[in-house]
Every structure is written in structure tokens, then in C-alpha cells.
Structure 1
Amino acid sequence: MTTVAVVGGGISGLTAAYRLRALLGPDARIVVLEESGRLGGKLRTVPIAGKPVDVGAEAFIVRRPEVTALLAELGLADQVEHPSRARPLIWADGSLHPLPAGTLMGIPANSEALVGLVDAATLARIDAEPATPLHWDRSADVSVAALVGSRFGEQVVRRSVDPLLGGVYSGLSDTAGVRATVPALAVALDGGATSLTDAVRRALPPPSDTPVFGTLRGGYGTLLDALRDASGAEFHDHTTGAGLRRERGRWSVDPVGPVDGVIVALPADRAAALLAEGAPAAAAQAARIPLASSVVVALAMPKTAALPQNSGILVATGEDLAAKAFTLSSRKWPHLADRDVTLARASFGRFGDAALLDADDEQLITLARADLATVTGVTDQPVDAYVQRWHGGLPQYRAGHGEVVAALEAEIAQVDGLEIAGAMLHGVGVPACVAAATTAATRLTERVAG
């Protein structure tokens, strides 16, 4: 009987276990080890005001096929909901502004996109940018802040780019490499774009009325439960996989013992620790990927709370607020608007700034309410609230991230019966995690069953 261990019970580990079951058949023994007391990793659905609400990732990109296909396989396609047409705002220079349209991760193709958000001198600089010689090294990578700041200036970086990148990576453009975080832009620059505005125009997707994002009516917990059930795996929570080593042609991982193969589906720091003995060169590469921590405070307010008719509010860098963003959930998602409360989420924490993780729940709820009042004027007393801390929640894709991942995967490829998956590789979104887990399960099956 083939025995495979999956270390890590997040979306990557659960998807890997599900794929392994389909590939290895009903007789294989698949063991999933999860060090916490629950499955799901950085996806979590909890009851707030009596109904399910996501307090981790809340959406997926529907234009990528992985999650849509997975939901169809699991019979959950009818659970998909799409956002309303409400637009987000940016809080910058102490006031609200519409989120600029026609930008690529906040990087504009022309000055018109940022009118009102940045000053006249910055707008003039954007207009003049095509005439400034562009020096782009096709063999190298730079931070988004370095590239955009050198072409458009600091206001564009802090007021337009940082809020969007912070929402995806819990970091700043200073620690975001162009190639990993804005790959379409890098392709345009590699292809000979003559300026940054030219590169953005080339990289922008064609206009479309189809939804970009989707979510699940009952929250991501619906998907997690379905994957667990369909995998038919053994699940061991409160169990840290350790002692990964090669013995007599097989792998051994504590507490499972000898196995035919292992998929490591852990955050970068814990993956590095697990791989240290059995695959030290791979461990060294994983250790090079830093992680950011954050906090989500979900608030259920009275139905009459007068939140603006917008999907959310992103916060520019340097503002006198602790929060980095707000999701106005009842405005963003029509299926949540039908509830008898008004839902909103405040997010705190960026890479290098995790001090608020140590604050107690009451302090964080008070801070979330105060910042929400500052940007919206809403002071209603919540009828319910939930605080979710995400320690090491998101990997940082710094300049050169692609080379680190390539080196990591090259080292793993040399080790028989071992694979990796997770957000540290090719994308932090759920579709990218599903794709990486599917690849890992397929490769491992070829090795252990071949």
C-alpha cells in the first residue's frame, strides 16, 4: 500500500491530498499533518452575528481556471457569488479619493488616471515620462518602488501603488519585485516598451464586463470541508511534522514513520525548518523568503450603519491611521447585503510592522472602529466582532523572488519522493496555491507509482 504524507493542512495541503486520492486510488494511505487545531491555513470562515464570514482571504480571481474547475469537480459551482459594481476608494492626504481606473496595480498609463490623487507636479512628471530614457535590464529585477519612484515620483508610489500591493501582499512596493508581483509589466518591459507608461498600456488587459473576482456563499469553509471529505485522508491536527529524513530508500516523517513520498505544504519558514535535515540546499532557499504578519478585525454593525456605497477603502502609506485597508463587505458582496447586519473588515499590519499582533482583542476592535470612523464617519456600536491574527500570513515576493523559487524547485527536483507547494512559490492567491498543489501531487504520483 502506497503511503504519502502531506505536511500542512492549508488550502495547498488539502488540494494536494484531494489530488493524490484521485491519482493514487482508494487504497493509498494519505496522511495530512496540521500543527494547529484546524484545517484551512490562511483561509478561515467563522460565525459573526450568527452567519458565516471569511476572516482570511475572501475572494479568488475567476479569470484563472483553477478554483472554478475545482469547485465544479466538488459540486460547488452553484455556491459562487460575484461582487457588486461598487468601486473602492483610497484614503490619501487625509481624504477619500476614487481608486484610479486604468492602472496596473496602481501604476498609471497616463496622468489622467491620478488626477486628484497626486499633485500637479507629479501629474506633469507622468506626462513627461515617455521622453525620459528608460534603462531596463532584461536579466535583472528591481523593486516596484524603485522603478515607479524613479519614473513618476514618490506620491505615485505611496498613494496609488502601495495601497494596492499592500492589499495583496501585506507589504509595500519597496519589498515587491516587479517580475513576481507585476509580471505582465515585466513582460512588456522585456519586450521593448520605450517608457513605463508605454509598458503599462501594453500590459493592461483588454476591457471586459465579466467579473474579476468570486467568493463562496457560505465562505471558504465550504471548500475546505469538501476537500477534506473528498480526499479520504487521515487528518492529524495539533501535529507538527518533524524529523524529515531519507531512510533505506523511503522517507520518514514524525510521527507517521516511513512513507513513500512527502509533500511539504507549509509557509516558507516552517518549510525551511522541516527540510533542513533531508534537503538542506532546498531549506536554504526557502529560508530566503520572508513573511509578513497581519490582523483582520471583522465588524458586524447595525443594518442602519451608513457606510459609503463603495466596496472598500485602501489606505495610502504615511497616513495617520493604523489600518491599511477596509473591506465594506455588505457593499462589496450582494449576498452579504441581505443579512440583518452591516459587515465590514479592517486590516492591520505590513511587512516589518507586526506590533499590533500583540494587542489584545479589545484594543484592536477599538482601533478598527476609530479608524473606520475617521474615514467614513460611521460610529455605530458593533453588535458582534471577531479578531483574526495571521502570523507569517503572506510571503514577500522581493526582487529576485523568481530566482529563489527556481533554485528551490531545482533542489527539490533532485530529491526523489519529495515535493513542495504553497503560497511561497508562484502566487499568494488561492488559484495559484491550487495550481502548485496540483503540480506537486502529479509529480509525486509519477515518482511513487512509476
Structure 2
Amino acid sequence: MEGTRRHVVIVGGGIAGLAAAWHLRQEGDGLAVTVLDGAPRIGGKLRVSEIAGVPVDEGAEAMLARRPEGRELARAAGLGDELVHPASVGAAVWSRGALRAMPKGQVMGVPADLGELARSGILSPAGLARVPADQILPATLITSDVSVAAYIRARMGGEVVDRLVEPLLGGVYAGRSESLSLDATMPHVAAVARTERSLLKGARAIVGDAPKDAGPVFTTLKGGLGGLPEAVARASGAEIRTGVMVRELRRTAEGWRLVTGPTRAPETIEADAVVVAVPAPAAGRLLASDVPKAAAELSRVEYASMAIVTLAYPRAAFPEPPSGSGYLVPPVEGRPVKAVTFSTVKWPHLAEADPGVLVLRCSIGRLGEEFMLQRDDDELVALAMNEMAEIMGVRGLPLDTRVTRWGGALPQYEVGHLDRVARVRAAVAVQPGLAVCGAAYDGLGVPACVASARAAAASVLAYFADHHDERTGRRPRHRDQIKPAPGPH
């Protein structure tokens, strides 16, 4: 009967929340699933819009192809034929006054091939000479989590950190290697740090063990990765409610009660189980009453803000067409733009939309550089245009521009992050029918978020399986059991 269906509410309509809905509907037996999101649209940081007539992502533009979760979800949502791969072009680093090719044989900036590193010219002669000292230095004992910078600097010197590792990590986390966790952000390097005396030797082993025919590293959708959330929402069959801010989550005798709506006219929603799929600060506020230990841990997760300035130029504006997919800028260079992606070079399907247009994305803002984002949109566009004029020799005005601001978008996996996540999950696990998922836990990319969503869904389904007892005569709540709250909250 419809009225006996168990009801799961998912708080958060980003890709993690939507993936959790899809898994629950696929694997649950007739579950009613409701997704609530306070924003006017679902998708979180996945969004696509046109610039100069070309659909270009405003947030994340790609997902790891070598992790299956993202591709599998896209196929399940009917987008399998839309999956495409980037062109086989290299990336560069702006270092010491020039664009220099990213050296081959490196692991998140940790060099494995000294010859490639030397040919790149990214390091100064003194910085390059310091790297092989790693092979004769005494072991750097790593018995617990440390910062990325502390370990790699001790082994290979400061320039490797400043000019290779820092820009690569900054591109992912918009954070600082001085505070980012080695275990959480570079697990393969952390593993060799505990087993190998030489980091160079360990990096060579990581590169050598990588599959030689694994295919492209990244993939996206022809229409933009921002199209994935809507497709997953449709495929899930869940009830999707936008513009609904959950203000309170409380445990009841038979399940969970969520309070939504304005304080003067609140509504309550009753649920048998809840998946919290919002950023850490918001999750902490919701869990404060019933899971204070998890809430305290989540409140300490710091977030970085950034902006993406997208520019569309006539190809003729470039004296020479870009030969690579883009470049990274180390913080030590003191430039406002931290990364540039030549979108229509990296993704051939975008170039096909209008061969006469070159679209690029400039990323601005790192942790601690919030002052950069206090500029208005026109100023950010001017910074990006100046970057193109100085570095690429671009002349003339763009055909179209777009500024997308992502405030508090990127969680920082600081030293001790994995232990923090374990404590959060341990505290949540003792609450019947409660789970968490999203970018704050196991990884920022789409596949990692989907994996965390699948784990959250499995936790809820296991709870239902363990607590199914026909003898109780209990009738789980239906999703339509929404009523006015008993009073102001």
C-alpha cells in the first residue's frame, strides 16, 4: 500500500544528494524519496550555460574517467552516449617568466623523472639541484598525518612545493599545501612516505605501477557536466523540491522530523530516514541537537571561495593559438589568476560548436585570498583579460564574458581530515536511519561524491533491513505527511 512506504528525505540537491536518491530508488523496495534543496535549482556546483552560443560549464567541467562511479551514474541517467574525452594535449605552468610544459612522470607535482623535470625549466638551477638530495638524505619518518608541504619540502626542497605541488593542489582545492593533509589529498604519496626512504624512488614506483593503457584521465558530457544533475534527478524518480530550506532536524520516537519554511510559517516533514548531503557547516547546524560530536567536527571544516571568469574571443585575437589545454600559476608568482583552461582546445566538441571562437576559463581565488573576490564582475573580467594580454599576447575585446562566483565552495582537507571524517561517521552511525555524504568527506570530484552517496544509501537500506519487523504493525511515514509545525522555532 502507498501509505506503508518508507520515506527517506535527502537534504541537499547537489550531485551527492541526487546520486543518493538514485541509489535508494534503485536498490530500495518501493521507497518514497524526497530531495530538499534551499536553492532555486538543483545541481550545486554543477551548472552549464552558453557563452557566445557555446554551452560551457560554470563549475566543475570534468570528472575522473579512471574512477567508474561518475561514468556509471551518467550511463544510468541515459547520458552514456554524451560522454566525451579531452584532446591529447599537455598542460603548462607559468614559472619564472614563461609558460613551461608540465613535466611527464610526476605525481600531483612530485617529480619521478629528473630528466623531464630539468627539461621543463620550471625550477631554478638551485631548486633543481636540491631535488636529487632526496636520495641520500636520512629517512623522514612519517607515523601520522602531516601537511603536504612539510613532507615534500623536507625531501625535495621548497621549489618543488612552491612551483609544482602548490599550483596542482590549488587547482583542485583552492587551498594551501602548508595546511592540506598528505593522507587525504595525496594518498599514494602518503603510502610511499611510510615505506620508502626516498620520495623520488616512491614516485617512480607510483608512476611505474600506473596502468599503461588506462585511457583518458578525464571525461565530461557533450552538453556540459552541468547537465548531469537534472538527468540523475529524472532517472531517480524522487520527488525534488527546490527553494525549501531545512532549518532543523530532530530525532523522534519513530524517525526524524525536519522543519522547513520561514520561521513565521514553518512546516514539518516526517521521515523514516534522512541523508544529509549539504556542505559541512550546514550539516553541522542540522546535526547540532542530536549528533553534537559530529556537528562539532563538521563546524571546523574550512571552505575556500573562488570565481571562474569565462571569456570567448575570436580565434584571430590570439597571435598564436594555444597549443595546450591550459596552464597553472603558482602562488609565488603573485598573479591574481591561478589557472587558465583553454576550453575549446581541451574539449574538441566545444570547438565544433563554433570553430571561429576560442573559449577559456580563468580561475581566481585561493584560501586566504577572499579579498580578490571583493571586486565587482567587471573588475574580475578585466583581471582575466589582462592575464590573456600579458601571457598569451591577446589583443582586442572578448566576444562574450561570464563571471561565476562560488562562495565557500571547496572544503579544505586539512591535516587530520581522515580522522575527522571517521569521527563524524562514527557519531552519525549510532543514530538510527541517519547518513551523511558529499564533498566534505572522501573527495571533491563527482565520482568521489557519488561513491559517498552510494555508501550513505547503503547505510539507510541496511538500517531498514535490520529494523523490519512486521509484528510491530508500524506504518512508516509517507512523503505527503507534511503539516504545520507546532510553533515558531
What TM bracket, shorter-length normalisation?
A: over 0.9
Counterpart of 1:225?
230
- Map 1:84-233 → 2, pairs under 5 A: 84-115=87-118, 116-138=121-143, 140-190=144-194, 192-204=195-207, 205-206=209-210, 208-209=212-213, 210-233=215-238
1:286 to 298, 305, 308: 298
1:35 to 25, 28, 38: 38
**Do the aligned partners of 1:369 and 1:379 also contact (CA within 8 Å) in 2?**
no
Counterpart of 1:240?
245
Structure 1 residues 9-52: Cα deviation after superposition (integer angstroms, max 9, x where no partner): 100011111111112344x3211111111111111111212232
1:396 to 389, 406, 412: 412
The one-letter code of the counterpart of 2:70 is V
Counterpart of 2:433?
417
Deviation at 1:222, TM superposition (A): 2.5
Paired with 2:415 and 2:254, the residues of 1 have a C-alpha distance of 38
Paired with 1:224 and 1:31, the residues of 2 have a C-alpha distance of 15
Paired with 1:110 and 1:178, the residues of 2 have a C-alpha distance of 21
Deviation at 1:74, TM superposition (A): 2.1
The one-letter code of the counterpart of 1:261 is A
Paired with 1:305 and 1:10, the residues of 2 have a C-alpha distance of 37
Q: Which moved more, 1:221-230 or 1:403-412?
A: 221-230
2:275 to 263, 268, 281: 263
Counterpart of 2:397?
381
Paired with 2:326 and 2:179, the residues of 1 have a C-alpha distance of 24
Q: Give the SS at the match of 1:425.
A: coil
**Do the aligned partners of 2:92 and 2:101 also contact (CA within 8 Å) in 1?**
yes
Paired with 2:142 and 2:88, the residues of 1 have a C-alpha distance of 39
Deviation at 1:149, TM superposition (A): 1.3
2:313 to 298, 301, 311: 301
Counterpart of 2:254?
249
Counterpart of 2:343?
329
2:385 to 369, 373, 384: 369
Counterpart of 1:47?
50
Matched, 1:70 2:73: yes
**Do the aligned partners of 2:40 and 2:243 also contact (CA within 8 Å) in 1?**
yes
Paired with 1:444 and 1:24, the residues of 2 have a C-alpha distance of 9
The gaps in structure 2 that reach 5 residues or longer are 261-267, 467-489
Paired with 1:96 and 1:175, the residues of 2 have a C-alpha distance of 27
**TM-score, normalization by structure 2:** 0.89
Deviation at 1:294, TM superposition (A): 0.6
Structure 1 residues 125-161: Cα deviation after superposition (integer angstroms, max 9, x where no partner): 21222110012223x0111111111222221111111
1:438 to 429, 454, 466: 454
**TM-score, normalization by structure 1:** 0.96
Deviation at 1:344, TM superposition (A): 0.1
Distance 1:355 1:48, change over 3 A: same
Deviation at 1:207, TM superposition (A): 5.6
2:284 to 249, 272, 288: 272
Deviation at 1:112, TM superposition (A): 2.3
The one-letter code of the counterpart of 1:63 is R
Structure 1 residues 207-263: Cα deviation after superposition (integer angstroms, max 9, x where no partner): 635111101000123221111111222222222112101112311111342210110
**Do the aligned partners of 2:43 and 2:230 also contact (CA within 8 Å) in 1?**
no
Q: Which moved more, 1:199-208 or 1:81-90?
A: 199-208
The count of residues paired between Structure 1 and Structure 2 equals 447
Paired with 1:406 and 1:443, the residues of 2 have a C-alpha distance of 15
**Do the aligned partners of 2:47 and 2:227 also contact (CA within 8 Å) in 1?**
no
Q: How well do the aligned residues superpose, as a CA RMSD in angstroms? A: 1.5
Paired with 2:430 and 2:396, the residues of 1 have a C-alpha distance of 58
Distance 1:207 1:246, change over 3 A: closer
Paired with 1:320 and 1:188, the residues of 2 have a C-alpha distance of 32
Deviation at 1:109, TM superposition (A): 2.0
Q: Give the SS at the match of 1:439.
A: helix
2:25 to 13, 21, 30: 21
Q: Give the SS at the match of 1:426.
A: coil
Q: Give the SS at the match of 2:59.
A: coil
Paired with 1:264 and 1:410, the residues of 2 have a C-alpha distance of 15
Deviation at 1:110, TM superposition (A): 4.1
Q: Give the SS at the match of 1:362.
A: helix
